[in-house]
Amino acid sequence: MLARKPLFLLATMLLLAVPPIAGQAAETPHWVHYKWLSGKPALPRKVVVLPVAVEVVEVSAGGVEEEVPDWSKEASQSVFRALSAAIRKQPGLTEIAAPRFSGASADNLDEHMALYKLVVNTASKIGWEHKIRRFDYGIGPGLRAIAAQTGADAAIMVYGRDHTSTAGRKARAVAGHIPILNMFTGPAPQLGHSFIHIGMVDLRTGDLLWMNSEYREGSTNLRDPGDAAKMVNEIFEWYPGIEKYRAAYVR
């Protein structure tokens, strides 16, 4: 593990400079690996959902953010359940139980999750539009042991963030919409926003086969099973989306 630490630290540092959400791929919200665009590709049949990482932060009236660990755990569980339900609706796709991660395997998973976040956000940055037509990004074959353990073809990697407002911030938002009061309180602050990013990675090659994300402003609460399901289902409406992607980008 020591040999990989510099790479992990580099990925972590770079992530601090990259907004934690992948943008839309121009004409479609999803991205498809180029090897799926020719002929009739063999799509994954068995997938394993890796630990879902959704961070819930509470934002104060002054804009200070603080993570609430219990809420993060609750939101991660809601998104995981919604994802499992979405997978069951996909013809030919079966979820395989993930193995337990501890020690070296947990460190390896954390490293690849950091690399995954870096890769998907790099792909969506302005100036990389040429990659849309030949999307060939990946995170390397470092997770192939999971395929041997589970028999899965691909892994689904998920991360997200949910911003919720304190009572004080909500009160400031109300005051910000009242003409006289907002002279003293300032404009109404944004009350919250949520995003989820989902990607499918080939466990043997590390190729990022498909990815999509959903961003919403307002009162969405990822701890709520209904809200989590709505966002996950919106993302999976574009899976696999090969024909739409081919029509949009293959000339």
| pLDDT surpasses 60 at 55 | yes
Start-to-end CA span in the chain (Å): 44
Report the alpha-carbon distance of residue 60 to residue 161 in Å, rounded.
16
Beta-carbon contacts of 180 under 8 Å, excluding residues fewer than 6 positions away, are: none
| pLDDT surpasses 70 at 94 | yes
| pLDDT surpasses 70 at 194 | yes
Domain ranges of the chain: 30-37+45-249
Question: Of the given ranges (9-13, 94-98, 133-137, 187-191), which has the lowest mean pLDDT?
Answer: 9-13
- What local confidence, expressed as pLDDT, does residue 220 receive? 86
For tokens 């009350």, the residue is 191
- Type of residue numbered 244: K
| pLDDT surpasses 70 at 183 | no
Instruction: Please state whether the predicted TM-score (pTM) of the whole model is above 0.85.
Output: no
Report the alpha-carbon distance of residue 205 to residue 201 in Å, rounded.
8
Higher pLDDT, 104 or 171: 104
* pLDDT one-digit tens code per residue, 120-155: 888 766 555 677 888 999 999 999 999 999 999 999
Question: Of the given ranges (83-92, 103-112, 189-198, 212-221), which has the lowest mean pLDDT?
Answer: 189-198
Q: What's the rounded mean pLDDT across residues 22-36?
A: 76
Report the alpha-carbon distance of residue 117 to residue 9 in Å, rounded.
13
**Preceding omega of 6 cis (within 30 degrees of 0):** no
Domain 30-37+45-249 has CATH 2.40.50: no
